[in-house]
Amino acid sequence: SVTGVQTCALPISVIGHTDTEGDAEGNEKLGLVRAQVIAKLLVEAGLVVNEVSIESHGERNLLVQTPDNTPEARNRRVEVTVR
């Protein structure tokens, strides 16, 4: 094994989320971009994985429930799960 490189034998799931500001279609795309950026950063940092699932939940699955078109920083996030 190369020094500093971590190997993960289990699959990783990376899910991007947004708040409700803007339209749902745009937020779905933004959530996907967020997830892709984080997955890329993990690989660039030396994480070696067998499988990475990248998806967007957009403005679905809010951490903090808000009305439509409400900015909420806690809903703008990426979840990384080792499965």
* Residue written as token pair 């994480």: 47
List C-alpha distances in Å: 45 to 6, 29, 66, 80: 9, 24, 34, 15
Contact present, 72 and 20 (Cβ < 8 Å): yes
pLDDT of residue 11: 87
Task: Give the alpha-carbon dihedral of 73, 76, 80, 83, to 10 degrees.
Answer: 110
pLDDT in tens, 1-30: 345 556 656 789 999 999 999 999 999 999
Which is it for strands 78-82 and 12-17: parallel, antiparallel or unpaired? antiparallel
Could you please report the per-residue DSSP string of 28-44?
A: HHHHHHHHHHHHHHHHH
Mean per-residue pLDDT, 35-40: 96
pLDDT of residue 4: 59
Taking all residues of the chain, what is their mean pLDDT, rounded to a whole number?
Answer: 91
pLDDT of 71 > 90? The answer is yes
pLDDT of residue 1: 39
pLDDT of residue 2: 47
